[in-house]
Structure 1
């Protein structure tokens, strides 16, 4: 056996050296070189193992108790590692997620799962911020797991200008959906307003729906044009189209018939009175259980007296004045009103503490009418008043003729009388201001959000959202007293080390 082992050692060493030469000299066939090296090392190891002295030493080595214990431990570790890797491989192939939180905050609702499973085309979620500073990736991964058609991507707004123009992005943090050839704005991410399941799922429902709400803008009375001039409406129209609306002009003088596909008619800043026939058509539109939006400037009268009486609306010719001139630092005068508090209405419920700005505002008041549910959602604060005289920089409050704030100027009305229960309720919104719809006002602060929320509330099919309740973890915070806090602060640096030291001393004394 000794001669054979000697031959194997020399052959193995020669083959191993030849493989090293192949690695350095022949770079094109590295796999062959490694194969030759493996054969050489195998022969070398076998030659060493077959020597008589080696076998005697190995027999003595394996006979030791320490060697057997070490081998058993090594094999046990290998077995544990193999089992752990096998379990991880099985888990990766057949992923099962368990949400053990008390309120299931990490799981999507059954409504969301059903909505995602019905997707026929790829759905892309575009997030216009370069990094995920809101940590919403795990939330988006939940959607992607349910349906791989759902994909998401973060976009740097400073780099990809093409996508910015395509989606008409106005602010960093905007979230948009793309489904086929449709796009849908969801929301703007902020510290106090994260992306929720209710908002995202309802946006998916809207973009995947075959129905496209149709808004008609009344024309023919000096209304603002749909262009990019300061008082134009193109910014509003683009934002509405991004949200899935179809927007068209409507001239009831040239075509005195109501559009059959209309969902909302908007009367924005008419400078001349409407004809009696037009007023009758607008009333007929409301009788069809549709929706109407009216935005009016001060010192204008669209001659909608019959409509005002029917709905209990009173227009005031006075103009709101901000006595503290809080908008001067923004470059505006005392006829500009800043609003930060809003009514508890679906239009403004989520905008609390957001600033909105209105130039030249006229009050709008309501009186109780049976069958009409009226709510004020825009109003000034107590530091404003409605001025009866021509506004001037030195205007002062006159209790005899002026009206002290708060003063309402945005009213949302809903008819509780339904001739046809199968159709939505009739809705009407009247705002005594038009700057929030103009290009130079729509992009200011929360003005655009308020107008878009108003349209969404008027579009009643869009208003019927999934009732997905927000899920928050239960408050399990410990209420500690001052003494308990001090005790906890002493545990790690003092009490635990002293306890360990005392235990060691006691054990040492017992052994002695």
Structure 2
């Protein structure tokens, strides 16, 4: 017998394992199915100690909402300080480097290089303002170069955004990570990537900016146009790349190493996760990196964004209505009634 305690509780079973769903919804049932289908534990390890995005903190730039979604699907999430630990655990399925703001020590870089050399899977989310000191030493393992500047996309203003430094992606190259995406995704202040060439790796682009975009290296003030600066390239520009290669394990068996590099760390932050397909991309990234490709197809539709983002003119208009126009209207109405009664 199964311990069903509540009316309406659902029990799911698969290959001798079971999951109970107390509150039945598409998202809860889908998460339970993913936990059942996932073979063994999956450890997602976030590096910390350099100002990286944090999976448990709730600030706008952190990742607590994404971590909650991943935990509901069976992932175990931990932070790791390389100075304190001195190594990366062998059971790490995916190592996450989320835009460090403080340069890493040479010893830490060497630990990362050794992790990649032995075939570890890595997600690198790289903001333009990340501390790059030392990270260029990873280029012999991950042959990717970051273009200078920030991607400027004129389409962002056409979509009602008041900033041009938001790259919109609506057309996705064929890849397991993007196979089921049907809506726009938003990448604030992203930087472009280029593959520097390495026959050991198979490269695939899965996120690209619009052909009207470019990487702006000047100040983002006033009217912005693409100039003749040789450091600025016209779109489409690469925002997200996947790298994969076959390696031989200690047991002699071949296995596939996977890495993903994205020129933006904001798109899965608490502030922007609910925009368009951002959540789906975040979940699909981790599933692909942990070799759970089959689970990508059963991700639930993302919940709509519950945050209300208003432009400065809209905020000013609302303030004028509620703080000035409405009180004056009520005052005028009351004065009118008072004058009528006084004349009687």
TM-score normalised per structure 2: 0.75
Q: Could you say which structure has the larger radius of gyration?
A: 1
* 1:30-429 matched pairs, under 5 angstroms: 118-121=15-18, 124=21, 127-128=24-25, 174-177=26-29, 185=31, 204-206=36-38, 209=39, 211-225=40-54, 226-300=56-130, 301-326=132-157, 329-330=160-161, 332-351=162-181, 353-401=182-230, 402-420=232-250, 422=253, 424-429=255-260
* 1:456-471 matched pairs, under 5 angstroms: 456-460=287-291, 462-463=292-293
Change (3 A) 1:412 1:237: same
Per-residue deviation, residues 422-471 of structure 1 (Å, max 9, x unmatched): 363211111110112210011222111101111111102x236799xxxx
User: In structure 2, what is the Cα distance between the partners aligned to 1:117 and 1:247?
Assistant: 24
Q: Unaligned regions of 5+ residues in structure 2, if any? A: 1-11, 298-344
Alignment equivalent of 1:444, drawn from 252, 262, 275: 275
User: In structure 2, what is the Cα distance between the partners aligned to 1:266 and 1:238?
Assistant: 16
User: In structure 2, what is the Cα distance between the partners aligned to 1:121 and 1:185?
Assistant: 13
Change (3 A) 1:243 1:393: farther
Q: Which has the higher contact order (CA 8 A, sep 6+)?
A: 2
Structure 1 counterpart SS, 2:168: strand
Structure 1 counterpart SS, 2:140: helix
Shift of 1:116: 5.8
Structure 2 counterpart SS, 1:425: strand
User: In structure 1, what is the Cα distance between the partners aligned to 2:17 and 2:253?
Assistant: 29
Structure 2 counterpart SS, 1:273: coil
Structure 1 counterpart SS, 2:279: helix
Q: Unaligned regions of 5+ residues in structure 1, if any? A: 1-114, 129-173, 178-183, 187-199, 468-512
User: In structure 1, what is the Cα distance between the partners aligned to 2:94 and 2:275?
Assistant: 24
Superposed CA RMSD: 2.6
Contact between 1:292 and 1:428, CA under 8 Å: does it hold in 2?
yes
User: In structure 2, what is the Cα distance between the partners aligned to 1:466 and 1:446?
Assistant: 13
**Structure 1 or 2: more strand by fraction:** 2
Contact between 1:126 and 1:175, CA under 8 Å: does it hold in 2?
no
Structure 1 runs (4+) deviating above 6 angstroms are 464-467
Contact between 2:239 and 2:263, CA under 8 Å: does it hold in 1?
yes
User: In structure 2, what is the Cα distance between the partners aligned to 1:423 and 1:265?
Assistant: 21
Per-residue deviation, residues 352-389 of structure 1 (Å, max 9, x unmatched): x4110111010011033112001111110111111121
Structure 1 counterpart SS, 2:85: coil
Contact between 1:327 and 1:338, CA under 8 Å: does it hold in 2?
no
Shift of 1:312: 1.9
Shift of 1:257: 1.7
